[in-house]
Amino acid sequence: MRKFIIDTDVGGDDAAALVMALREPDIEILGITTLGGNVPIENTTLNALQVVEECGREVPVYMGCNKPLMRELVTADNVHGKDGMGDCGLIHPTRKPEKLHAVEFILETVAAHPDEVEIVSLGPASNIALAIMKDRDTMKKVKHIWSMSTCGFGAGNITPVAEFNVFVDAESYAVMLNSGIPMTVAGFDLCLGDASLTPDELDGLLHTPLGRFIAEGNRVKLAFNESLTGRAFADLPDTVAMAAVLHPDVVTESVTAHCYCCAEETPAYGQVIIYDIKKPLSVKYDIPETFTTVIKAINPDLFKQYLYASLEE
């Protein structure tokens, strides 16, 4: 059975991703680690606890970094609501987080299960980078990192060239990217178009308690995207990434690449440059030696089938 740690800054799409994982019988979730990102860590932790409770599970939740390692926190409460879940009274967990810090939990768990633990990173990379910096030898025993991050092969969602999770803490992302741990990236580009949910599709989730929880938690996104683009839709990047982790048949195309993260204070901060190794460069650059798998395309209909199935009673 696959063993997971899910590292997340729970907003509405993270919540849907967690539900997919928590309701998947063929994986063991050893713990959920939280950090500041979409909203402050106090909210992301409450949201994680609530999702676990909604799913009727006993998975422990560990609090980690409340801010990036080298800068102040940038949040996305305009996208997710102040509480990260639509500000509609969904969040009232009866459980508490564990006392152990998330980074210590990650290191202890990887050490206890060498070459077995897969980390699913759905937020900024602060917790993972700190674990790598504290004990690189132990983190080399991580089996795989699955990361929702980067623009992929499209435009950014916070600057023209940067995706939110990387932009929040690009220094940490660079540490994770260059760690040598096997890594697969699902970019923001995958969640747009047919993979996003229309208002009618979101309303179609309301017939079950879990579906209602996810629909209401992502309702703010409709208004945000409509104000931004003139079209109401809910993009679910973390949910798409989780579907790719759990169900490889969702992925229709991927490439092996060298990836470079721009972590200096410039207009390119947070940009991840993807060098497809099959396409030779016309000029000579010093590019990273590590390889990353970058998902290039998914089957959006199959993604939605898996999402809908996870929300049924």
pLDDT of res. 280: 74
Strands in 183-186's sheet, in edge-to-edge order, are: 61-63, 27-34, 2-8, 117-121, 144-148, 183-186, 292-298, 251-261, 272-276
What proportion of the chain, given as a percentage, has pLDDT over 90? 94
pLDDT digits (tens, 9 = 90+) for 9-49: 999 999 999 999 999 999 999 999 999 999 999 999 999 99
pLDDT classification of 151: cutoffs 50, 70, 90: very high
For the chain, where are the alpha helices, taking DSSP H only? 12-22, 41-54, 77-80, 102-112, 126-134, 136-139, 164-168, 170-177, 199-203, 209-217, 219-229, 237-246, 300-310
CA distance 195 to 289: 33
When pLDDT is averaged across residues 200-221 and rounded to a whole number, the result is 96
- pLDDT value at 204 more than 90: yes
Coil vs helix vs strand at 162: strand
Extents of the domains making up the chain: 2-310
Average pLDDT over residues 285-303: 90
Q: What is the pLDDT of residues 82-127, one digit of tens each?
A: 999 999 999 999 999 999 999 999 999 999 999 999 999 999 999 9
Q: Residue 170 has what pLDDT?
A: 98
pLDDT tens readout for residues 224-266? 999 999 999 999 999 999 999 999 999 999 999 999 999 998 9
Residue 290, pLDDT score: 83
pLDDT class of 277 with cuts at 50, 70, 90: confident
Provide, rounded to the nearest whole percent, the portion of the chain with pLDDT above 70.
98
Nearest to 38 by CA among 92, 12, 77, 7: 77
* Mean of all residue pLDDT scores within the chain: 96
Q: Give one DSSP letter per residue of 75-127, joined into a string.
A: --HHHH-TTSSTTSS----S---BSS-HHHHHHHHHHHSTTTEEEEE-S-SHH
- Residue pair 188/156 in contact by the 8 Å Cβ criterion: yes
Instruction: Supply the pLDDT for residue 313.
Output: 81
Q: Please write the tens of the pLDDT for every residue from 57-72.
A: 999 999 999 999 999 9
Please, what is the angle between helix 209-217 and helix 12-22, to 10°? 150
Region 2-310: CATH code:
3.90.245.10
